[in-house]
Amino acid sequence: MGLKDYKRSKVYLNGWTIMSSVDDDGHLVVSISHDDGTDIVDTGADLALDCTECSSRYTTKGIEKIYTESLQDSLVEMVEMAEELLDIKPQG
């Protein structure tokens, strides 16, 4: 069986490219990539509703870096707001 035997599909969704193919024997292959070019990470989340489904969640190192930085920025903003509300002066 060669590549000519594959039936292919390609979807682009918000930075993600999802390619799927089924060969003549019925085997499904799913490939994913992201525009940010960083490593793909399987989060390990099994999102399937029952045993007849297969569903996973993926992210990238780039997405997680942005998310972590966003959380850190939010935490700093929350501390600053609390300091203002409580009229706390930082020491130092």
Span 16-61, pLDDT tens digits? 999 999 988 888 889 999 999 999 999 888 777 777 778 888 999 9
- The SS3 of residue 20 is strand
Residue 92 within any structural domain of the chain: no
**Distance from chain centroid for Cα 50:** 22
Q: What's the pLDDT score for residue 90? A: 63
For residue 56, the enclosing domain spans 7-86
The first and second tokens of residue 25, run together, are: 């024997």
Task: Work out how many domains the chain is built from and give that number.
Answer: 1
To the nearest whole percent, how much of the chain has pLDDT over 90?
37
Q: What's the pLDDT score for residue 11? A: 95
